Amino acid sequence: MSVTIKTPEEIEKMRVAGRLAADVLHMIREHVQPGVTTDELDRICHDYIVNEQKAIPAPLNYRGFPKSICTSVNHQVCHGIPSDKVLKNGDVVNIDITVIKDGFHGDTSKMFPVGTVNTAAERISRVAKECMLIGIDMVKPGVQLGDIGFAIQRHAEKQHCSIVREYCGHGIGREFHEDPQVLHYGQPGTGYTLQEGMCFTIEPMVNIGKRQVKLLPDGWTVVTKDHSLSAQWEHTILVTADGYEILTIRPGDEP
């Protein structure tokens, strides 16, 4: 495993990229309304990243992905491709943003309710966010990734939800996806030991039903096999000397 430890200069560039990614999610929130298409959300984000931020939308043409953001609606777990699909009242959508600025990546996602959502949608969004925050709060030098994965999995299962195992967090920096893989399940006392200067994402995908997923014929969109609701939240994290720094924090959001 080749994990890159960022230099102070690289960390500063990661802060900039992370802040830009967070700003896109903050900007798009007012546009997530019943009647909008996910294609329109993609266009707004693309234009903002390219024209306002003078940055690059990392997903566009990444391994053939055709759009600038990912939009995963209801039972879509991750990597949903924006389309002419119209969001309706009661939907929940994950919007996943990754930008490249000065050669470095910032990666973040969150859940958006569309209009008024039901209790199940509120619950799975809340549990997924709690899982992410529990994982983040454990980050500091010397902690093993297996401990973080175990804590995330335990919380989800205590809430009678399940953790998707086929997709995970990842190191990030000059590359979109670097080592290590950050699993959202695991065993205590196992896995890579965190070091100061590491940057990676924590992004648990949590299902209200069973954990099994399948890949749609488009080659990207992942859905729950039982069509149950799924939710995901994501931040890019820096390991500091005594803990962590969230590089993708949004204005007015969680500390």
What tens digit of pLDDT does each residue of 54-69 get?
999 999 999 999 999 9
d(CA 135, CA 145) in angstroms, rounded, equals 9
What burial class does residue 45 get, using C-beta atoms within 10 Å of its C-beta: 0-12 exposed, 13-18 middle, 19+ buried? Answer: buried
CB neighbour list of residue 226: distance below 8 Å, 6 or more residues apart = 209, 210, 212
CB atoms within 10 A of CB 113: 16
CB neighbour list of residue 114: distance below 8 Å, 6 or more residues apart = 32, 33, 34, 87, 88, 89, 90, 91, 92, 93
Q: Is the peptide bond before 8 cis (omega within 30 degrees of 0)?
A: no
- 142-183 pLDDT per residue, tens: 999 999 999 999 999 999 999 999 999 999 999 999 999 999
Q: Are 117 and 90 a contacting pair, CB within 8 Å?
A: yes
d(CA 156, CA 145) in angstroms, rounded, equals 17
- 232-246 pLDDT per residue, tens: 999 999 999 999 999
What burial class does residue 64 get, using C-beta atoms within 10 Å of its C-beta: 0-12 exposed, 13-18 middle, 19+ buried? Answer: exposed
**Of 69, 68, 96, the residue nearest 233 (C-alpha):** 96
Q: Give the max Cα distance, the chain.
A: 48
Helix 145-158 to helix 119-137 angle, to the nearest 10 degrees?
160
d(CA 89, CA 166) in angstroms, rounded, equals 30
pLDDT-derived band at 254, boundaries 50, 70, 90: low
Mean pLDDT of 177-206: 97
Residue type, 189: G
pLDDT for residue 253:
73
pLDDT for residue 228:
98
pLDDT for residue 90:
98
- Indicate if the pLDDT at residue 48 is higher than 80: yes
- 72-114 pLDDT per residue, tens: 999 999 999 999 999 999 999 999 999 999 999 999 999 999 9
Q: How many CA atoms lie within 13 A of 116 on its CB side?
A: 0
pLDDT-derived band at 255, boundaries 50, 70, 90: low
pLDDT-derived band at 251, boundaries 50, 70, 90: confident
